[in-house]
Structure 1
């Protein structure tokens, strides 16, 4: 893996959000990739919204593939690398599901299921074991990696964004076989670029469906999504030690380098229409812009110190108010404000922190820190925190 500490963002356009691929605009991508480049960031994680890229199980969409090529060419022109994420899937508090993938099952309870822009009461078929679902996934992976595997903008391939929030594997073996199948399909088409799976850092604690040690052989680096409010042993929602601790824990369990693929805070600009609503609701995700900037700075420093590959902010930009009455931003109000920039394109304090950190050209610390695994997790975290 490269020696540079990788810095980047998870990307949806500020004025399109999840409707990006169905209303694709080259000029928008060019302008916003220019902003990302100007911040000194190097990696853009994008999401291949499943219903746009595969509207039929046996026929990926040619138009979406052409638009993906435009995105990759634009990234290359700016010297950016791209991490495409397949089978999205879960994003911004909702599950986005192709109509053909719906089944006569109950949806996951924790977030709405959306198909063709509308919420549905149907759940998703078991894409870990359903033969047609598996065949469709292999087909999409084969076409995308076969066609774009030699593109100079590709950083690697991500096989999903927290797939357990779409459908939880019935057994750990189901999840493992699914991952192995798709990993090996990528390797047949692209032997050069690394493969990962975007998982919440709390999976090992709350969900045994994806066991780090078991799934590590079918990834070239491990990815975590780290949020203090998701773990009971965090001191508070601004605890800067949670992300580096989860990174070290995952690296120790899996024996592979770790990318902190998503972290951040909801930080509405002062005076914004929704800021008072969020703060009065007691939403634990809501911070001031100054608190957010401090948190980002602390987490970036600590992630580098423990030997992490790099860090990606949860969102490039806050979302434009034109999207607020559409799912998921109509119900997931906090998701409007995770950006490094405002909805008008101004740099937020957290964005300045990322920019300034990038200007220092940080390098990875090797070898990475490791942890003993025979200690209860809450005690292990206390030891880690106190060892600073």
Structure 2
């Protein structure tokens, strides 16, 4: 089991690439290593690293390598995101793909070729580092593909799949054998019209990545103490397995956090422990990477309110209760206080109108019939898995996952 954190610098947020200070970075990494974590996920800003379609800045790559080396000195492995893309409500798209040079991020050949070259440059920069985990294509790049983005780059599911394969192939060619993945926000799992699909997440890349945020309507509907809120990360981890061809395909909980006011500050530590306790019981979980290491300085303007205080540390590097809660769970896990996850013997059958594009996946969203049935079963103390309805009578598949009983939504809801 891997435990890590998404690294948000304590000074300057991700704009720190413009004023790169190795001493500040080392101090931040000392904070992180002191919690007993084993990896960081880091975020080069795409326009800073590739300001022109044919210019990938060597100095920026050198700075990324310096950060990775500093992490390695502290026993921290490094995962790197490429196309940033989108972070904390801000878009970072280079000028050569916007306004006067507006071209589709997913389908325009010159843009796609440049993206692949950029990912390759990142991979080549770190390929010889033993602690380099791999590349994530980008942070929730799927949000560019449709509503609610104000200026979307429209794409079909087939085009999205081709783009993802092209990006992942570039990552693998540059740094063979590493854990190269892609990451979508939860429209991929919850919106039947969204072109990035659950099948893309569960079939492409070295493992399936989920981002679990309870400000998506979960905490608003069920409350900060609700079973659905505390189970949300575990639910997404189990939902993701329904689309995997390999019954043992790993799942990476790459983002989860305690966003105020949806989770009140006084509740954040308890929410953290509950979230981790539930998700650590999911078989084939590769690891958890908490969002995020340090708060956002309130001198920086225009962030959504919930983004400022998500850190394990304040901007002056004081450990917060949420950081203490995470560190305590990590210590207990490594001391053997948590029982290893066992196969989930009971599964809920999921019908989304076909696995490939899953047009009915709205039932999986908070408030949806499947979501509520799964939470109801879990709240009774059962450990439910998820299986596709079309495989609910596939004895070999069920046996491979250790499932002995399949329950229908109607069996739970009475409808």
Normalised by the length of structure 1, the TM-score is 0.83
Task: Give structure 1 stretches of 5+ with no counterpart.
Answer: 105-121, 268-283
Task: Give structure 2 stretches of 5+ with no counterpart.
Answer: 147-153, 352-368, 383-415
Q: Does 1:381 align with 2:375?
A: yes
CA–CA distance in structure 2, aligned partners of residues 55 and 311 of structure 1: 32
* Selected match of 2:170 from 185, 191, 194: 185
Q: Does the 8 Å contact 1:306/1:365 carry over to 2?
A: no
Superposition RMSD on alpha carbons, in Å? 2.2
Task: Report the 3-state secondary structure (helix = DSSP H, G, I; strand = E; otherwise coil) of the residue aligned with 2:259.
Answer: coil
Task: Report the 3-state secondary structure (helix = DSSP H, G, I; strand = E; otherwise coil) of the residue aligned with 1:317.
Answer: coil
- CA shift digits 1:226-273 (9 cap, x unpaired): 122314596224521111011111122234211111111235xxxxxx
Aligned residue for 2:120?
Answer: 142
Q: How does 1:27-42 map to 2 (within 5 A)?
A: 27-42=23-38
Relative to structure 1, the CA distance from residue 56 to residue 368 in structure 2 (aligned partners, 3 Å threshold; closer, same or farther) is: farther
Across the two proteins, how many residue pairs are aligned to each other?
344
Aligned residue for 2:295?
Answer: 318
Relative to structure 1, the CA distance from residue 368 to residue 246 in structure 2 (aligned partners, 3 Å threshold; closer, same or farther) is: farther
Task: Report the 3-state secondary structure (helix = DSSP H, G, I; strand = E; otherwise coil) of the residue aligned with 1:253.
Answer: coil
Which deviates the most, 85-94 or 195-204? 195-204
Q: Does the 8 Å contact 2:138/2:182 carry over to 1?
A: yes
Q: Does 1:333 align with 2:305?
A: yes
Q: Does 1:259 align with 2:252?
A: yes
Q: Does the 8 Å contact 1:44/1:80 carry over to 2?
A: yes
Q: How does 1:1-388 map to 2 (within 5 A)?
A: 5-103=1-99, 125-168=103-146, 169-206=154-191, 207-231=193-217, 235-238=222-225, 239-254=229-244, 255=246, 256-267=249-260, 284-285=261-262, 287-288=264-265, 290-307=266-283, 308-323=285-300, 325=301, 330-362=302-334, 365=340, 369=344, 371-374=347-350, 376-378=369-371, 379-388=373-382
CA–CA distance in structure 2, aligned partners of residues 374 and 361 of structure 1: 32
Give the deviation of 1:322 after TM superposition: 3.2
CA–CA distance in structure 2, aligned partners of residues 286 and 354 of structure 1: 16
Normalised by the length of structure 2, the TM-score is 0.77
Relative to structure 1, the CA distance from residue 58 to residue 299 in structure 2 (aligned partners, 3 Å threshold; closer, same or farther) is: same
Ranked by relative contact order (alpha carbons within 8 Å, sequence separation 6 or more), the top structure is 1
